[in-house]
Copies of this chain bind each other. A is one copy, B any other.
Amino acid sequence: MIKYMRSYLYRQLEPGVWESGLSPLNKTIAVLIVLASIIAILETEVIVRSLSPGFFYYAELLFIILFSVEYMTRLFIAGEQPKYSGFNGRIRFLFSRWSLIDLVAILPFILTLGGTNLVVVRLLKFLRLIRLLRLGPMGEAWSLMEEAITRRKYELILSFGVAGFLLIFSAALIYLAESTVQPEEFGSIPRSLWWAVATLTTVGYGDVAPITVTGRIFAGFSAAAGIGIVAMPTGILAAAFSDAFQRRQRK
């Protein structure tokens, strides 16, 4: 009886075992993860929380129970796989990659019941969605994008390296031009980096901006370099995707 139940739950819970795509149970879990995250997000807002502090407390309690039950069940069904069967197998399972992520996703939840300070850790629950996304209708797209990026990882790292160098160089130049005029904002290279990041990524908040003529000329060149910093990885990704699509078609 227990054996049959374990086998049934294994087929439902273990991603990749269900015939096609996501099993109904895993779909439900995916929805629960999203819901729990939305509640964790909304809870940080005082106005929303004050509407019904009880609701958030009990909602969290519910999610903790649900995800704990799920975690226990995963531990229980792990025995279906030979490598995780037996006591030693279970220990090995506890330290397997996805199992640790599952744990990280419940632990802070339990520790911070009713508090909001560990919200970022709680959002790590999202990582669990990746495992499920790979099986759903997006599976093919996911692996294609993964392939495109990993095949061109050196080019991408290199273009980020060049971007990093330009970042430091821009910060150094603007520091030379503006440090005496705006010491609070451009008084050192580390300080100037804030402006340099905003400029080179073309975000341009405008809370800090050069006011000297030299500073503005340097800034102009930095902004122009920013186009290159956007164009470089975009071009690499475009070529990588083009490549990956064609490889698929040939098969």
Interface residues of A (CB under 8 A from B): 37, 41-42, 44-46, 48, 119-120, 123, 126, 133, 137-138, 140-142, 144-145, 148, 154-155, 157-161, 163, 165, 168-169, 172-173, 175-176, 187-191, 193-194, 197-199, 201-207, 209, 216, 219-220, 223-224, 226-246
Assuming the contacts A234-B230, A238-B241, asked whether A44 and B188 have C-beta atoms less than 8 A apart, the reply is yes
Quick check: A141 and B119 within 8 Å, CB to CB?
Answer: no
> A129's closest neighbor in chain B, by CB?
B165
Quick check: A201 and B224 within 8 Å, CB to CB?
Answer: yes
Assuming the contacts A168-B123, A234-B235, A238-B239, asked whether A216 and B204 have C-beta atoms less than 8 A apart, the reply is no
Assuming the contacts A119-B172, A157-B138, A203-B199, asked whether A238 and B227 have C-beta atoms less than 8 A apart, the reply is no
Quick check: B229 and A233 within 8 Å, CB to CB?
Answer: no
User: Complex Cα distance A207/B207, Å?
Assistant: 8
In the complex, 16 of the A-B residue pairs with CB atoms within 8 angstroms, ordered by the A residue number, are A42-B190, A45-B188, A45-B189, A119-B176, A120-B169, A137-B154, A138-B161, A144-B155, A203-B223, A204-B204, A205-B205, A227-B229, A228-B233, A230-B234, A234-B235, A239-B242
Quick check: B46 and A188 within 8 Å, CB to CB?
Answer: yes
User: Complex Cα distance A141/B158, Å?
Assistant: 7
- Minimum C-beta distance from A115 to chain B (A): 13
Quick check: A205 and B201 within 8 Å, CB to CB?
Answer: no
Assuming the contacts A159-B145, A235-B241, asked whether A201 and B227 have C-beta atoms less than 8 A apart, the reply is yes
Quick check: B224 and A197 within 8 Å, CB to CB?
Answer: yes
- Minimum C-beta distance from A204 to chain B (A): 4
Q: A172 contacts which of B120, B168, B176, B206 (Cβ < 8 Å)? A: B120
- B residues near A220, Cβ cutoff 8 Å: 193-194, 197
Q: A206 contacts which of B48, B142, B206 (Cβ < 8 Å)? A: B206
Residue with the highest number of chain B CB atoms closer than 10 Å, among A157, A188, A216, A244: A188
Q: A230 contacts which of B44, B119, B204, B231 (Cβ < 8 Å)? A: B231
> A194's closest neighbor in chain B, by CB?
B216
Q: A119 contacts which of B140, B175, B187, B203 (Cβ < 8 Å)? A: B175
User: Complex Cα distance A56/B234, Å?
Assistant: 40
- Minimum C-beta distance from A126 to chain B (A): 6
Assuming the contacts A48-B190, A190-B44, A202-B203, asked whether A154 and B140 have C-beta atoms less than 8 A apart, the reply is yes
User: Complex Cα distance A125/B119, Å?
Assistant: 42
Quick check: B45 and A169 within 8 Å, CB to CB?
Answer: no
